[in-house]
Structure 1
């Protein structure tokens, strides 16, 4: 499976996607900086506390890389069905479900690690900036930092799993457009807020866990259907 995943990454010149992810990180940083400057002095300042600050960072990270995952699904899976390349791959002496599994593992791991990396990077920048300018009145204790790390690790895992949900819609007519629209719609649902900016849909733990389970179920379903509808 590892060899298949590495071959897929080489075939699609996967290194360039890390470059795109770096550009996305710069965009996230600029958005956070803009929010911090425009919102400065407001009663509901977005960076009023560390938990609020990290929730905002995680929201931007998940939104960006769930959509990014939709683009990867379109490139690695949907497009290859559409241009019949997948039919050629299925003639190889490799079990069909392993070919799809390798592609989905790449999408899952890339999404998880990029969300985690972005959370840690933006969090480090936030802490460094606050060290010099002290715009967050509270202090981040070691215990709070550990709790936030565990919380957002779980959040990243669930986001990476739910990012596979658009595969269900994209596979119906092998449409890359449908896949991308589904990813954007998913972001609008899971990254929205309730009761103002201090509470996010993602903070209701049952929702991201349920959506993550659905994403994994869809991934397994796509492999089960290989022998029937999807290869016709």
Structure 2
């Protein structure tokens, strides 16, 4: 399995993903830094605790990489079925289920690692900029607070990386890339709706966790049916 995953990495050339992740982190950090500036200009304080900034940055990160995961699903799975290039892989003396499993494991791992690293980078970047430019006083926190906040974001990232596989179901129905991307946008709307410090779906871990369980069923079904798919 590990060998198949390595082959998928070489074949798909994920450089665009990593470059996109760096750009996304810069943009997300910029958005998070804008909130205290907007609050200062408007004279209102929507984010009153450091946990509010953890929540909003985490929501941005999860939304971004849920869509990135849908792009990976489209490029690595949907397009190969649509263009029938998957037939080349299926011609090898390797079980079809192992091939599809390797692709899905790679997508899950890349998505989770990207979310985890991005959460640390964005929050650390915001804390650093806040120390220099004094953007907000709500970000004063201890090391224990920081570690607790990051741990919470890691749990959300793990659940969201699983939930990000749900678009596989919609994409595989008619091998449609648009359906895959659009379904990921709907998932983002469900998971990451936020209204500052008020009630927010982005702060409820049971939503991505529930979607991750659904995704597990979708993945299991896709792997079970892969031997019966006729591409001729």
Q: Could you state the TM-score of these two structures normalised by the residue count of structure 1?
A: 0.92
Instruction: Quote the offset at 1:138 in angstroms.
Output: 5.7
Which sections of structure 1, spanning at least 5 residues, go unmatched? none
User: C-alpha separation between the residues in 1 aligned to 2:178 and 2:49?
Assistant: 39
After TM superposition, list the pairs within 5 Å mapping 1:116-195 onto structure 2: 116-134=116-134, 135-137=136-138, 139-193=140-194
1:92-141 CA-partner distances (Å, limit 9, x unpaired): 11111111111111111111111111110011112112223442246312
Q: 1:30 to 1:133 in 2, by over 3 A?
A: closer
User: C-alpha separation between the residues in 2 aligned to 1:39 and 1:187?
Assistant: 25
> Are the aligned partners of 1:202 and 1:208 in contact in 2 as well (CA < 8 Å)?
no
Q: 1:230 to 1:60 in 2, by over 3 A?
A: farther
Q: 1:3 to 1:59 in 2, by over 3 A?
A: same
1:42-97 CA-partner distances (Å, limit 9, x unpaired): 43334x32100110110000000000000000000000000001122111111111
* SS of 2:40 mapped into structure 1: coil
Instruction: Quote the offset at 1:230 in angstroms.
Output: 6.4
> Are the aligned partners of 1:191 and 1:202 in contact in 2 as well (CA < 8 Å)?
yes
* SS of 1:136 mapped into structure 2: coil
Instruction: Quote the offset at 1:177 in angstroms.
Output: 0.6
Instruction: Quote the offset at 1:231 in angstroms.
Output: 4.9
> Are the aligned partners of 1:81 and 1:174 in contact in 2 as well (CA < 8 Å)?
yes
> Are the aligned partners of 2:97 and 2:227 in contact in 1 as well (CA < 8 Å)?
no
User: C-alpha separation between the residues in 1 aligned to 2:114 and 2:137?
Assistant: 26
User: C-alpha separation between the residues in 2 aligned to 1:98 and 1:57?
Assistant: 36
Moved more, 17-26 or 180-189: 17-26
Which sections of structure 2, spanning at least 5 residues, go unmatched? none
> Are the aligned partners of 1:69 and 1:163 in contact in 2 as well (CA < 8 Å)?
yes
User: C-alpha separation between the residues in 1 aligned to 2:79 and 2:55?
Assistant: 34
- Residue 115 of structure 1 is matched in structure 2 by 115
Moved more, 12-21 or 175-184: 12-21
Aligned length: 229
- Residue 7 of structure 2 is matched in structure 1 by 7
User: C-alpha separation between the residues in 2 aligned to 1:207 and 1:152?
Assistant: 14
- Residue 89 of structure 1 is matched in structure 2 by 89
Instruction: Quote the offset at 1:6 in angstroms.
Output: 1.1
> Are the aligned partners of 1:63 and 1:187 in contact in 2 as well (CA < 8 Å)?
yes
Instruction: Quote the offset at 1:208 in angstroms.
Output: 1.8
